[in-house]
Amino acid sequence: MWKRLRDDAVLEMLYGSGVRVSELCSLDVDALDLRVGIATVWGKGAKERRVPVSEPAADALRGWLRHRHEAPVAESASTALFVNERGNRLTPRDVRRIIDRRSASPTHPHALRHTFATHLLDHGADLRVVQELLGHRDVATTQRYTHVSKERLKAVYRDTHPRA
């Protein structure tokens, strides 16, 4: 039971917050403030940033935290938000296995981060805001991460062109 709840929380955090897999694996329990829907992550270059925790992610995290005591937890991982079957802090390889078990087709954990950014932009988020959420130093990096979906192109054309 605890593995399913952990996996739900992992997937919701990756998609709902856009965190890097390394950031997710290094999260500690005390980095969460579910009352306000924020997680504090340490990104590249040891830079701290706050990311939103969606309501579905918060619900999944609450479920996981209620049952986390059922998982084995090594002393070295006592503060870790997510642990594996051996009681150690979750690793990127563990995350890949979770996604492989849950995905209908093979995908990479980073695809959830791309999807997070694309959905934000497709629904009108400012590129600069997405840059901050992803923790990119340079907006050009954010531009590489995102692409305009065919659906978004069609919708903008339909909504803005007089002959559409």
Render pLDDT for 124-136 as a digit per residue (tens, 0 to 9): 899 999 999 999 9
The structural domain count of the chain equals 2
**Do 24 and 94 fall into the same domain?**
yes
CATH number at residue 52: 1.10.443.10
Q: Does residue 110 have an active-site annotation?
A: yes
Q: Does residue 20 have an active-site annotation?
A: yes
Residue 139 contacts residue 127 (beta carbons within 8 Å): yes
Q: Does residue 67 have an active-site annotation?
A: no
**Do 49 and 93 fall into the same domain?**
yes
How does DSSP classify residue 14? H
**Do 90 and 21 fall into the same domain?**
yes
**Do 117 and 63 fall into the same domain?**
no
**Do 122 and 62 fall into the same domain?**
no
Backbone φ, ψ for residue 89 (5° rounding)? -55, 140
Name beta bridge partners: 83.
Answer: 89
pLDDT digits 0-9 by tens, 64-117: 999 999 999 999 999 999 999 999 999 999 999 999 999 888 788 889 998 999
**Do 99 and 18 fall into the same domain?**
yes
Region of 149 on the Ramachandran plot (φ > 0 left; ψ -120 to 50 alpha; else beta): beta
pLDDT beyond 70 at 55:
yes
**Do 56 and 71 fall into the same domain?**
yes
Higher pLDDT, 144 or 115: 115
**Which of 44, 108, 137, 147 is labelled catalytic?**
44
Domain span holding position 149? 112-160
Q: What is the CA radius of gyration of the chain?
A: 17
Q: Which long-range CB contacts under 8 A does 125-133 form with residues at least 24 apart?
A: 132/49, 133/18, 133/51, 133/52
Residue 131 three-state SS = helix
**Do 35 and 89 fall into the same domain?**
yes
**Do 79 and 53 fall into the same domain?**
yes
**Which of 6, 15, 20, 89 is labelled catalytic?**
20
Tell me the C-alpha distance between 102 and 93, whole Å: 14
pLDDT band at 146 (very low <50, low <70, confident <90, very high): low
**Do 133 and 101 fall into the same domain?**
no
pLDDT band at 123 (very low <50, low <70, confident <90, very high): confident
Overall average pLDDT of the 29-56 stretch = 94
**Which of 49, 89, 113, 137 is labelled catalytic?**
113
Give this prediction's pTM.
0.86
Listed residues 62, 82, 105: the one ending a domain? 105
Q: Which tokens go with 118?
A: 């694309």
Tell me the C-alpha distance between 116 and 51, whole Å: 12
